[in-house]
């Protein structure tokens, strides 16, 4: 009773070709975020419905690259764990 289920997910796959391409562009592209990270996070939340989601790191980028506000809007408004 009172035990919460949480998951950890690293934002990075440091050597993923799409991440490296985004980094090479000065983070003006977001292919890694859109094609890899977000699908993984959506699957994680939709499948396991964690009470706690703990991602880490920003890799010297900003919330715009990660689209943090977009993900948080989905998480708190539309996801299966919004309540």
Q: Tell me the pLDDT of the chain averaged across its residues.
A: 93
Question: How far, in Å, CA of 7 to CA of 75, rounded?
Answer: 14
Other residues' Cβ atoms within 10 Å of the Cβ of residue 53? 17
pTM score > 0.75 for this model? yes
pLDDT (tens digit, 0 to 9) for every residue of the chain, 83 residues total?
899 999 999 988 889 999 999 999 999 999 999 999 999 999 999 999 999 999 887 777 888 999 999 999 999 999 999 98
């Amino acid at each position: 009773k009172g035990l919460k289920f949480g998951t950890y997910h690293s934002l990075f796959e440091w050597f993923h070709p799409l991440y490296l391409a985004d980094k090479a562009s000065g983070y003006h592209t977001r292919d890694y975020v859109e094609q890899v990270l977000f699908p993984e996070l959506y699957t994680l939340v939709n499948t396991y419905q964690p009470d706690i989601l703990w991602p880490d790191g920003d890799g010297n980028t900003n919330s715009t690259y990660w689209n943090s506000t977009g993900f948080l809007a989905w998480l708190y408004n539309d996801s299966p764990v919004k309540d």
